[in-house]
Amino acid sequence: MGEKIKYHRKRCGYTQGQLANKLYVTSQAVSKWENGYTLPDVMTFAHLARLFGVSMEELINE
pLDDT band at 62 (very low <50, low <70, confident <90, very high): low
Q: Which CATH number does the domain housing residue 45 bear?
A: 1.10.260.40
- Contacts of residue 29, defined as CB under 8 A and 6 or more positions apart, other chains included, come to 20, 38, 40
Q: Cα–Cα distance between 24 and 3 in angstroms, integer?
A: 21
Q: Return the higher-pLDDT residue of 9 and 1.
A: 9
Domain total of the chain: 1
Which residues span the domain enclosing 7? Answer: 2-61
pTM of the full structure? 0.90
Read off the pLDDT of residues 11-58 as tens digits, 9 standing for 90 and up: 999 999 999 999 999 999 999 999 999 999 999 999 999 999 999 998
